[in-house]
Amino acid sequence: MVKQPVESAVNGKIRCDACPVMCYIADGRSGACDRYANIAGELIRVDPLTVIENTATAGGKVVPFMPGQADNEWDGDIVHAGTPFVTAVGAGTTYPDYKPAPFIVSQTHDGIDMVTVVTEGIFSYCGAKVKIDTDRFIGPEAAAVRVEGEPVGHVTTGEYGSQMLSLGGVHHLTGGSKKEGRITCEALMRLCNRERVEMTVDGGAALSLQAGRPPVIDGVEESRMRVGCGSATIGMFARQWRDMVDEVVVVDDHITGVLSEHQAGKLLGIPPTGIRIRGRRSTPGRYFQVAAPGTGWGGTDISDPLAILGDFDPKAAYPGLRLLMVSTTGEQYGYYILDEDLKPQLQTTLPAPVLESVGIVAENCEPAMVSVLFIGGAGGSLRAGVTTNPVRLTRSVKAALTHVSCGGAPAYVWPGGGITVMVDVTQMPTNSFGYVPTPAIVAPIEFTMRLEDYRALGGHMEAIVPVERAVALAERHIAPITASPWPTAGRNFKWGA
């Protein structure tokens, strides 16, 4: 627990100024956010300050690479073993803006004096981008996403093999009703803390989502994402199918592929089969809009794949023609043989090579997963806690002189104005996120730079403490979650800039 300065007390209650709510907190009680408490007249940050300690050991053949180290000086440490990194998790906030960040920590790395500025930021301008690995229709683009009936975001443009949500944002947090803001804030916090959240899409599906876990859509857990669109699937497996069947149709909501018409089939010498597809023909062997979006074959609304076929052309088709129809995940498939009337007849038994090829399609599908990326804009409180001249921090970040991390995890900084960061929540320590009932999300953020660069941007030099002092206050020590570059490692900075 980290002690915080007390601004004022009334009738034994401490007034907490860690956010604009300004709670009065009685002894033994916590504020509305459950993050700060009054313990015997002292304001305490309840959650433990978290330090990442890299205690891993390297295996295999290694060579020295750190600048300025001779071979006989190198101790074999390529992962900075034992080097602590003070995260902002549990550190406290900079609100109001005039305060320096709760921890401004100095340490030496590879002979370079470094500074890390540690803050739990109050983010009103924030949200989450959610990637759902599935072809199944979850709702029309731009449809509202709701939690407990309140709009918290919308369906955005789908990506290759995944549906996408854009959740949160300042308009949902502050621009709607009080209930909408509260539920949006709670849903964002739970998603970013890797908890499961139930939601619905207007005109679409019921979703149960948890970062790092398979998505559950209308009560059904997804197991795999598609190997590719129908055209790509044809290209990948055409050579295998050439000698075992006469025709293959890969059913897909976006691009349905037909082997004999596809360029891959042409180059492999597969003759025309007279097949006709009900859909909008794009280029040879590629069809759009063969069916409406849905939860059936290949993300369409069909349960019978023959529904997308017209009559075969008798000039090319013939009795005995072998037809395989398969979805982009290999979950649905059917093997047919044309009868004397050129009608496909479903075969109850698939030849072993055909069944094996369907299994290879499924094998090449990656496990379905929910990915949650927190995105937030670092505004006044964050930057003023770092420097007396906030725009210099922005320029330093854009010039790659300052490394930005969230809970020790590397953050992607968007181009353009301001400091807009995005981070994979599964790379962060558990329970990294909190809230304040303004409403806003509280998220950790760290700015790491050389000491001389910190001085140049007008940093709060008087507030710098050695890393040993901060580590002594830490109650939670964890190992790195991923093999990401160590936040204070020299290779993250433009040393010569």
Task: Give 238-284 pLDDT, tens digit per residue.
Answer: 999 999 999 999 999 999 999 999 999 999 999 999 999 999 999 99
Q: What mean pLDDT comes out for the span 413-431?
A: 95
Q: What mean pLDDT comes out for the span 22-50?
A: 88
Q: What mean pLDDT comes out for the span 71-97?
A: 68
Report which listed range, 36-45, 108-117, 417-426, is most confident: 417-426
Count Cα neighbours of 4 within 13 Å in the Cβ-side half-sphere: 32
Q: What mean pLDDT comes out for the span 309-338?
A: 97
Q: How much is the pTM?
A: 0.87
**Residue 74: is its pLDDT beyond 60?**
no
Q: Are the CB atoms for 200 and 146 separated by under 8 Å?
A: yes
Confidence of residue 487 (pLDDT cuts 50, 70, 90): confident
Say what the pLDDT of residue 5 is. Answer: 61
Task: Give 170-215 pLDDT, tens digit per residue.
Answer: 999 999 999 999 999 999 999 999 999 999 999 999 999 999 999 9
Say what the pLDDT of residue 71 is. Answer: 40
